[in-house]
Amino acid sequence: MTSPRPDKPAPPPPPAGFLAVAGVQMVSGTDPIANCDAAAALIAQAARGGARLVVLPEYFCLLGRRDTDKVGLREPEGDGPLQHFLSGQARQHGIWLIGGTVPLTSSRPSRVRNTCLVYAPDGSRAARYDKIHLFGFQRGEERFDESATIEAGRTPVVVDVEGWRIGVSVCYDLRFPELYRALSPCDLIVVPSAFTHTTGQAHWEILLRARAIENQCYVLAPAQGGLHENGRRTWGHTLLIDPWGEIIQVLPEGPGVVAGTLQRLRIADVRRSLPALTHRIM
């Protein structure tokens, strides 16, 4: 895994009322070291572009040949090469880093927590979110059952990033709007994901735009996107969406970075013109 090293200083942060963000899209393979090296290069690219907050996709560190491969990669909370890598990257670039997900130990040795960790610019951990909703799907030969290897979390998480309220979710959580109501009001929702090509082609964009529209906030969804070493194909289409549901930027497939700037005025304008959040009665 890439060790922290001196890098070109990032541009100065934008003025108050703005937050530069970036979502990293990857096509992760079966080698965690190679995956971390690929992530490091894309994090550096995002940081050079001025991003203050960078978000990796779900399981940036491993898409194994078997579902159980991630169990062998699990780490105890607060220690392990994956967590040290994420902390070091945040510290090296002086950014907020949301580390996609990594497998952490659970109460059952045959399962892991699918955990999204948030690191501050000094490398300290600022938040932990364990994926609540576990994906299950079967159509023909295509079958997924995350509950066989993952222990679900229970607690919604909102983290403060330089005064911006960031709601954290992961992949299949996207289909459960009640989670996002529990996070509301947010300025930004992040959805690191590894959507299948089948479900992504059908539902990815419409679900992400709906979450942005109904919560009147930005949504940043970094994804796995392409044909993986294990034969799996993910949908990609990393997206940054504004509070009106308009797509700011999208990357259809392959490794890369989607970047943009959040604007408080845009959030305020949308909520003032259509004050749906204040009209809630349930």
Residue numbers annotated as active site = 58, 131, 171
SS3 of the chain: the string is CCCCCCCCCCCCCCCCCEEEEEEEEECCCCCHHHHHHHHHHHHHHHHHCCCCEEECCCCCCCCCCCCCHHHHCCECCCCCHHHHHHHHHHHHHCCEEECCCEEEECCCCCCEEEEEEEECCCCCEEEEEECCCCCEEEECCEEEEHHHCECCCCCCEEEEECCEEEEECCHHHHHCHHHHHHHCCCCEEECCECCEHHHHHHHHHHHHHHHHHHHCCEEEECEEEEECCCCCEEECCEEEECCCCCEEEEECCCCEEEEEEEEHHHHHHHHHHCCHHHHCCC
The b/e string for 240-262 (b: 16+ C-beta within 10 A; e otherwise) is bbbbebeebeebebebbbbbbbb
Q: Kindly tell me the burial class for residue 7, based on how many C-beta atoms sit within 10 Å of its own C-beta (0-12, 13-18, 19 or more).
A: middle
